[in-house]
Amino acid sequence: MTGFPRHARALEALEARGRRRALHPRAGHDFASNDYLGLAGSELLRAAARAALDRGVPVGAGGSRLLRGNADEHERLETEAAAFFGAGRALFMGGGFQANMAIFSALPLQGDLVLHDALIHASAHDGMRLGRAETCPFPHNDVTAAEAAIRTWRANGGAGQVWIAVESVYSMDGDFAPVADLMALADREDAVLVVDEAHATGLWGSAGRGLSHDFADRPNLLTLHTCGKALGVSGALICGDAALIDTLVNKARAFIYATAPSPLNAALVRAALTEIALDNPLRNRALGRVKTAHDLAARLCGLTGLQSQILPVVLGDDKRALAVAAALQDRGYDIRAIRPPTVPRGTARLRISITLNVSSDTIEAMIRDLAQVLETVPA
């Protein structure tokens, strides 16, 4: 008998609604990970790890960056990342969630406005809750509504800095943000555009530099590039104006009080960045798989409007999403159901991820099986 009956009842309620989460081992063909370029288990990164260890790169940092945890590998990575992404400075942090919390808790000040896309990541919301700026959502990808919100805020006396927060590729819908239009809005309204490039880095934009890379020289652009998706490692790089990066070093509690990322991890991110800068065939193969998946999904399942490597199959009902996922898992595919609160109520879905960890033949077999399962699992 549990000593925490209220928690037990809450878990039972989640179970009844089809929303209880649990950890499961990896099994089946990979249609669930964010390892878009197949680098996570690659010989490239294994060789980079061996080489780094052989030259004495430590596994652990031993402390925060502001104490003894600041290693040469961290600084080399930040220098190389700033050059690669075309930014004034870069800051390496332990992960994207931590980095978003740092950005939104430390950079927007009291009297400022954070205007964010309604589908922005949970980590940005958590950062905003810790910050002192006013916050306001705008409808997904609606630049006109965002502009109206800024003007309304200013008409009502808002006089601080406006920060426009978006993702370039949305993690649950797989669609692209209208980055060029948002950048133009930021320029017109003297705002800062904050772009989370997590699902674009390594795959989209010039040499995988992200969808905002065309505007990398703008001082009013701040970007976040996570290292645990297409780069195959872990951590995150915040790239932008030197004053903003230095403010994070001085003010962001998620940076100041956290043990630094492993120097070995920094060395592996350096190797991944070098690979995506040089190996266009790797990226081209991945984009070819994405196109194959789009064509098959449209022809066999009637899924249209797909844009990226993330294929959402919106089923609506939580339990149906679980049932369809389970049926596909039984056929050998690692496909997971995504339910509220990760996605809005009534939009439970499969989130199918296309990576280089599966062949084109496996992608075709999966989509054929998906079409059959959707017909057999009742709505």
Tens digit of each residue's pLDDT (9 = 90 or more) over 327-357: 999 999 999 999 999 899 999 999 999 999 9
Question: Given a cut of 70, is residue 117 above it in pLDDT?
Answer: yes
Task: Assign 257 to helix, strand or coil.
Answer: coil
Instruction: Provide the pLDDT for residue 1.
Output: 55
Tell me the catalytic residues: 34, 121, 167, 171, 196, 199, 229
Q: Which of 12-21, 108-117, 201-210 is least confident?
A: 12-21
User: In this structure, which CATH number among 3.90.550.10, 3.40.1410.10, 3.30.360.10, 3.90.1150.10 belongs to the domain 26-41+280-376?
Assistant: 3.90.1150.10
Report the Cα 345 to chain-centroid distance in Å: 21
Tens digit of each residue's pLDDT (9 = 90 or more) over 200-220: 999 999 999 999 999 999 999
CB neighbourhood size of 145 (10 A): 15
Instruction: Provide the pLDDT for residue 372.
Output: 96
What mean pLDDT is predicted for residues 319-329?
95
Query: What's the chain's Rg over C-alpha atoms?
Result: 21
Angle between helices 318-330 and 360-376 (to 10 degrees): 130
Instruction: Provide the pLDDT for residue 106.
Output: 98
Tens digit of each residue's pLDDT (9 = 90 or more) over 133-163: 999 999 999 999 999 999 999 999 999 999 9
Secondary structure (DSSP) of 272-330: HHHHHHH-HHHHHHHHHHHHHHHHHHHHHH------SSEEEEEEESHHHHHHHHHHHHH
Tens digit of each residue's pLDDT (9 = 90 or more) over 157-206: 999 999 999 999 999 999 999 999 999 999 999 999 999 999 999 999 99
What mean pLDDT is predicted for residues 249-253?
97
Tens digit of each residue's pLDDT (9 = 90 or more) over 47-81: 999 999 999 999 999 999 999 999 999 999 999 99
Q: How far apart are CA 277 and CA 254, in angstroms?
A: 29
Q: How far apart are CA 188 and CA 197, in angstroms?
A: 22
Q: Top-level CATH class of 57-278? A: alpha beta
Residue with token string 């193969």:
285
Instruction: Provide the pLDDT for residue 39.
Output: 97
Question: Given a cut of 70, is residue 103 above it in pLDDT?
Answer: yes
Q: Which of 39-43, 139-143, 271-275, 317-321 is least confident?
A: 317-321
Measured at the alpha carbon of residue 30, what is the angle toward residues 296 and 347, in degrees to the nearest 5?
A: 65
When pLDDT is cut at 50, 70 and 90, the band that residue 27 belongs to is confident
Answer for the pair 201, 208: CB distance below 8 angstroms, yes or no: yes
Question: Quick one: what percent of the chain has pLDDT higher than 70?
Answer: 99
What mean pLDDT is predicted for residues 230-258?
97
| Mean of all residue pLDDT scores within the chain | 96
Domain boundaries, the chain: 26-41+280-376, 57-278
Q: How far apart are CA 317 and CA 321, in angstroms?
A: 6
